[in-house]
A and B are shown apart, each in its own frame.
Chain A
Amino acid sequence: MKAYFGRRYMLSASHRLYAAGLSEEENRAAYGKCNNPHGHGHNYFVEVLVGGKVHDETGMVMNLVELDAAVGARVVDRFDHSNLNLDPLFVNLVPTTENLCRAVFGLLKEALPVGMLDRVRVEETENNFFECCAE
């Protein structure tokens, strides 16, 4: 029987939205306050949803200790209290939350058992969030 298990994590990080292919003016027009040269930060909430069979012995889709270990090692340790623009993933990629969400999905897909990662949701503030789903 398939069910889904979800867990929320918080990470605090800074970023600046700036596209190298756009002029200074175009950057300001596209990103507004997010283009501030010195960057700014958010408390991001990362919600991870895994899906799979509920194991008869444990009643669990996945032990949350294992999920915490994977998300901790691959995502929280990497991005928490960091400047996203300086992460190798964002050298040539604007660290919008769309791109962060997709990056987190990719990192976790590699770390979790095949086929289990169903969706990653990243909340940048209380009022906006982004989701990336298994194709």
Chain B
Amino acid sequence: MIYLTRRATFSASHYYWNEAWSEEQNRAVFGRCSNRNGHGHNYTLEVTVAGEPDPVTGFVVDLKWLKDLIEREVMEAWDHRHLNLETAEFAATIPTTENIAIAAWKRLEPAITAHTRLSRVRVYETPEIFAEYRGEGA
């Protein structure tokens, strides 16, 4: 089994806020991330697929195809956007790094499954902080 990873970067703004909580509680749990004016990051998205190399091409998956898929499904929706205010999945879900990883998986998984298996999505919010999602139950 070979694991193949493609990396892409996007820049977006967000804030953390739970509408069900008081302002005080939001500040206590989310700290500076709760500033309602938002703040931004350069995110790095890593998409890992798993499979056997094709006997003819030697590819697990065509990297150009994967690049274009990431561009179409994720970058066009999120790059240079305010995640809370401009994206459907974070209208009612807090755009934490964990939830961004899950949302990226949901955007990519259906198209990838037709060709190979999506193994892991990893999202770096900064070089020191990242979240991973490996699908239901993994």
Is B134 in contact with chain A by the CB < 8 A criterion? yes
Is B119 in contact with chain A by the CB < 8 A criterion? no
Q: A3-B131, A54-B102 are in contact. Are A59 and B136 (CB under 8 A)?
A: no
Complex Cα gap A63–B31 (Å): 11
* Contact status A65-B31, CB under 8 Å: yes
* Contact status B20-A57, CB under 8 Å: yes
Min CB–CB distance A68 → chain B (angstroms): 10
Is A4 in contact with chain B by the CB < 8 A criterion? yes
- Taking CB atoms, residues of chain B closer than 8 Å to A106 are none
Interface size (A, Cβ < 8 Å)? 19
Is A38 in contact with chain B by the CB < 8 A criterion? no
* Contact status A59-B16, CB under 8 Å: yes
Q: A58-B18, A60-B96, A61-B98 are in contact. Are A4 and B128 (CB under 8 A)?
A: no
Is B11 in contact with chain A by the CB < 8 A criterion? no
Q: A1-B102, A3-B132, A3-B133 are in contact. Are A59 and B29 (CB under 8 A)?
A: no
- Taking CB atoms, residues of chain A closer than 8 Å to B136 are 1
- Considering only residues 1-44 of chain A, those with a C-beta below 8 Å from chain B are 1-9
Min CB–CB distance B122 → chain A (angstroms): 8
Is A73 in contact with chain B by the CB < 8 A criterion? no
- Taking CB atoms, residues of chain A closer than 8 Å to B21 are 57
Is A64 in contact with chain B by the CB < 8 A criterion? yes
* Contact status B132-A4, CB under 8 Å: yes
Complex Cα gap A126–B21 (Å): 43
* Contact status A4-B129, CB under 8 Å: no
- Taking CB atoms, residues of chain B closer than 8 Å to A60 are 96, 98
* Contact status A61-B131, CB under 8 Å: yes
Is A132 in contact with chain B by the CB < 8 A criterion? no
Is B101 in contact with chain A by the CB < 8 A criterion? yes
Is A75 in contact with chain B by the CB < 8 A criterion? no
Is B87 in contact with chain A by the CB < 8 A criterion? no
- Considering only residues 8-36 of chain B, those with a C-beta below 8 Å from chain A are 16, 18, 20-21, 29-31
Complex Cα gap A65–B136 (Å): 26
Which single residue of chain B is at the shortest CB-CB distance from A10?
B128
- Give 6 A-B pairs besides A3-B98, A49-B132 with Cβ atoms closer than 8 angstroms: A3-B133, A6-B132, A7-B130, A57-B20, A58-B16, A59-B93
Give the 4 A-B residue pairs with the shortest CB-CB distance, closest first. Answer: A59-B94, A59-B96, A4-B132, A8-B128
